[in-house]
Structure 1
């Protein structure tokens, strides 16, 4: 037996190595034919972004790139080499190449640039290729100054260097040590900033501040860098001035890119033969999810974010805050009787009128998600001319109920344009696990011990029963069944999906005395060992041998059936048929809070600015969203180009890996003659 296991392990390792080589081959082909690859996605089934999020992914999330559920990835080069996106319904195309969400967004932006004739990267800002900063030691500059000669031919003096430092910027002046004539003088450039007494910022210092915003270190990052480079530490006031300047640049960049996003979404749907109505309003599908800065229900800041389901573009967000520093100071003064109630009301009214109050939400933190959804859906037409007609969300229906409850329960767009709800299949599958665990904890036996003590025994726990491992397997099989349903015909897709889900329950609860495999698929390649043996003309192996049975009392089986029946209603299954997930929202949330670490206090304006920067990076990539051209006039560096290249590569890598995982979930074992595993997670 050990030798047999070792032999099987060698086969598994061989298959893994084959998959890795195939993955590398496709990645190399992708790099070679990057600009000539034509894309045609068979269904608008949801898309997720690159798997570089700092957030810990859910165990059920197979990948953060989940655009489609087809098995094969074939690359084809167009004859004319143009970037084009064929209609999504064109499933009969002989030249089909699936791309990740990042690649689709890149293609749409490239088409926008082609149509409108705008430059890339700098966003319309003139850049100087000779502007990049050169880092060197002070000793090198002194030696260069000493080798300079005075311009006066009668004077044989040499250069004497004077450096006036201001944080990371320096003003350099070289004078003759004999006649004191100025040989060379160069001051760091300054840029005017409105709204400050000292309304100037310098490119180098601002670039350092911009970097601390990107990596989320803030002022502490400047302090550490100043210590390492032996540079005078800038004051908090100077840092805030530069930070506000970067935030204003980020907002301008975000607003400009969102116009491209709007055009790209309309163009994408046009290629799907979906056009705006007579009023110019387009119906689109979106994925909505809420996120909070800190865990629990006491977070002071939360956000609701909307992502377009087909392209993965981040469209809109509502950032809500329950905290305002000035309001808290005034409230504390009132508690200490330092000001009267009348004075407090006057101060609060003045503070509200100045529009500097950062408290825009008064209710509990848990209601932020619903409140954000109401505001986003209310302004979708006025902001983008979009009608968010399909709401893809998790099992929590509070946000969806808040949306359809607008305008006296007529919805945000009236009775003629109702918002439809679709389920995230990952959350839907986890709902089965929650209900099974609740059932296991609820069923107990009252046992009296020999000493007379009363114990409550949870008899569904333990090996061979509803253990955590078994529940996890059932959840994975439910998720696999939903993904597999996308390949069925529309006429009987619902019934086949229900049959596949119920088959898992009957399969694992079957015994040798009472086998029930009526819903399991037939054929020699069936994942059900019982049906496979019958199709081969063999005597079925025992359930004990295949380790697929769950030892449950007869009076408990109907309770499991009730759990499955509650999750296989027509209304719920219809919401899951497209197999969409919130993976892209989870990925974006991780990148957002990476720039606003939850370990530090973050204000409302800081979170809004971080969202604008992350959304720009997500929608257009690192190069085009970079603020370097606006700050220093230099083009984005090679490091950002390499980072963008790696982002696209990882996005495609995640798609290939997720497709292979799903392919293994759908297909039976190739070596069914050798130790059929029977029931296991992902086997059907």
Structure 2
């Protein structure tokens, strides 16, 4: 007869601490170990200067006043008001002191004392950004905003103030509170402006098409790109950005992070306890480390969230998606609007143009030996040589990029199948003409079969061949034909018909990581703040973005802030106009090609002096 199992078995209470004998061994081991001198400690002790000034002791309860030392950031309004109130006896003068017990970061309390009657007038060097409990000095909040705009954290701000000779910034907990207020203000300001940008885009579409009603969804074209805080797709933070192709303004962003400080702090808590469950319920909706998966998946997840809320948020449908083709974001959002609207993919012609160099470089690396004509693949006239801007490879890449850009059509023509097929076939023949024309075939009719009748081909115009030092030997026709056939695929060329680039996305990404440097560790709150500040700067410019964020932080735009922002906007417009000129573009291309040709010549002359693990 089987033995009956008792309904309740009392579990033994195991000791979960560290046993006494183990603690004793650790204590004895610590006593036996010699004190380790670190490399930093050794270097600092060896280079300690004897010329450092003797520091005075800190303020005491009986003597908190001290003569003014170093530099102070003083509000002109506060100083003028204090001078008006200060009492000075006839024949006397004012003696300034500092009450160090009331110092709060960059905000100090100064005292003006009459030299005769010793009557004092006390004033603070900075106004308060907000009144009531939890008030904060305006200078400290401005310092936090300035540090966030230039990519500094509190440590960088400490170095800055120490070199200036001013008082140090606020403590780390106070700095985090200022950063939280800044993050909230930047989030509100950027959301309000993106909503205005989306409404402007809707009005623009409704003006062009009067049949669109107020409650209808408007189909627009956008450029989407993902960017990461760390290179190599191993980042804890990723950002997805949608920019309107028509207006060039940022419409929506999504920041995904793997880490959350509060979650990491509570990793050791008992997951089954009531305390942890109560905290988890309150923290679930505000947790910043919401991404689960690899860093490369961030771009896909961000696209799904942005496309999924476009109808409810802006009454927009992102029908055309311009991307670089580096992720599976398009597949994830292709049918997100259902049967009513299918998302169409467009390719950035800048990224597509780079594929030619990668393909030609791969052909050169895969054919190390001799070809059918008994010669090597590169390093000689008539062979496959050079970089993306020099030699025969540079010539083929340049012609491929210019061919795509010169055969583009308007966005409205994408809805006409006949116009698309005609434009794609014209572009395909022009790309094949690059290869056939660049190979010195003996049969001129075969060589120029794809060349246009009234275009750039000298043979079609005069019937004579015109040689070029970057023309290739006949053996390269068969070698490169599969590459040109793949890069002239009709589906690929159809996505390149509008001829649009993602340069605006790259510019916006640079603004983000200027405020949040990639080589430094940053938390999710700092990354989100950097994204929101970048949105305001990208869409509005310096003056308007400063006004919006200052208004949210209850700060005042002074005359110096306004003038500096206006100068920055003027310089931005001037620089953009200069770079947009054709002369400037040709000059940049020529300088880039010259620089690369010089580097290539130097490496060939030196014979290669650097190779990873080669020496």
| TM-score of the pair, normalised by structure 2 | 0.71
1:187–1:558: structure 2 CA closer, same or farther, 3 Å change rule?
closer
- After superposition, the C-alpha distances for 1:319-351 in whole angstroms (9 at most, x for unaligned) are 1111233444555x4xxxxx76756x9747834
Instruction: Kindly indicate whether the alpha-carbon contact (under 8 Å) linking 2:94 and 2:112 is maintained by their aligned counterparts in 1.
Output: yes
Corresponding residue of 1:374? 304
- Of 106, 112, 129, the residue aligned with 1:168 is 106
1:193–1:573: structure 2 CA closer, same or farther, 3 Å change rule?
farther
Task: Quote how far apart the aligned CAs of 1:180 are.
Answer: 4.2
Instruction: Kindly indicate whether the alpha-carbon contact (under 8 Å) linking 2:440 and 2:474 is maintained by their aligned counterparts in 1.
Output: no
Corresponding residue of 2:556? 633
- Of 348, 351, 357, the residue aligned with 1:433 is 357
Task: Quote how far apart the aligned CAs of 1:146 are.
Answer: 13
Instruction: Kindly indicate whether the alpha-carbon contact (under 8 Å) linking 2:147 and 2:157 is maintained by their aligned counterparts in 1.
Output: yes
Distance (Å, rounded) in 2 between the aligned partners of 1:187 and 1:570: 68
1:241–1:184: structure 2 CA closer, same or farther, 3 Å change rule?
closer
Task: Quote how far apart the aligned CAs of 1:280 are.
Answer: 2.8
Task: Quote how far apart the aligned CAs of 1:258 are.
Answer: 2.1
Corresponding residue of 1:486? 408
Superposed, 1:355-504 pairs within 5 Å as 355=284, 356-396=286-326, 398-404=328-334, 411-443=335-367, 445=369, 459-463=376-380, 464-469=382-387, 470-486=392-408, 490=419, 492-504=422-434
Distance (Å, rounded) in 1 between the aligned partners of 2:425 and 2:521: 51
Distance (Å, rounded) in 2 between the aligned partners of 1:474 and 1:398: 29
Distance (Å, rounded) in 2 between the aligned partners of 1:145 and 1:318: 47
3-state SS of the aligned residue for 1:201? coil
Tell me how large the CA RMSD over aligned residues is.
3.7
Superposed, 1:273-672 pairs within 5 Å as 273=209, 276-277=212-213, 279-331=215-267, 333=268, 342=272, 347=276, 350-351=279-280, 353-355=282-284, 356-396=286-326, 398-404=328-334, 411-443=335-367, 445=369, 459-463=376-380, 464-469=382-387, 470-486=392-408, 490=419, 492-512=422-442, 516-522=447-453, 526-534=455-463, 539-541=464-466, 543=467, 546-553=468-475, 557-626=477-546, 627-628=549-550, 630-635=553-558, 636-657=561-582, 661=586
Instruction: Kindly indicate whether the alpha-carbon contact (under 8 Å) linking 1:150 and 1:157 is maintained by their aligned counterparts in 2.
Output: no
- After superposition, the C-alpha distances for 1:99-130 in whole angstroms (9 at most, x for unaligned) are xxxxxxxxxxxxxxxxxxxxxxxxxxxxxxxx
- After superposition, the C-alpha distances for 1:275-326 in whole angstroms (9 at most, x for unaligned) are 6456332111000011111111211111111100111100111111112334
Superposed, 1:21-420 pairs within 5 Å as 157-164=92-99, 165-182=103-120, 185=123, 188-192=126-130, 199-233=134-168, 234-273=170-209, 276-277=212-213, 279-331=215-267, 333=268, 342=272, 347=276, 350-351=279-280, 353-355=282-284, 356-396=286-326, 398-404=328-334, 411-420=335-344
Task: Quote how far apart the aligned CAs of 1:251 are.
Answer: 2.0
- After superposition, the C-alpha distances for 1:418-469 in whole angstroms (9 at most, x for unaligned) are 111111111112223333333343446599xxxxxxxxx9943433323343
1:136–1:201: structure 2 CA closer, same or farther, 3 Å change rule?
closer
| TM-score of the pair, normalised by structure 1 | 0.65
Unaligned runs of at least 5 residues, structure 2: 1-70, 414-418, 591-615
3-state SS of the aligned residue for 2:431? helix
Distance (Å, rounded) in 2 between the aligned partners of 1:516 and 1:171: 84
Distance (Å, rounded) in 2 between the aligned partners of 1:567 and 1:280: 39
Task: Quote how far apart the aligned CAs of 1:362 are.
Answer: 1.4
Unaligned runs of at least 5 residues, structure 1: 1-134, 334-338, 405-410, 448-456, 666-684
1:172–1:606: structure 2 CA closer, same or farther, 3 Å change rule?
same
Q: Which has the higher contact order (CA 8 A, sep 6+)?
A: 1
Distance (Å, rounded) in 2 between the aligned partners of 1:193 and 1:144: 21
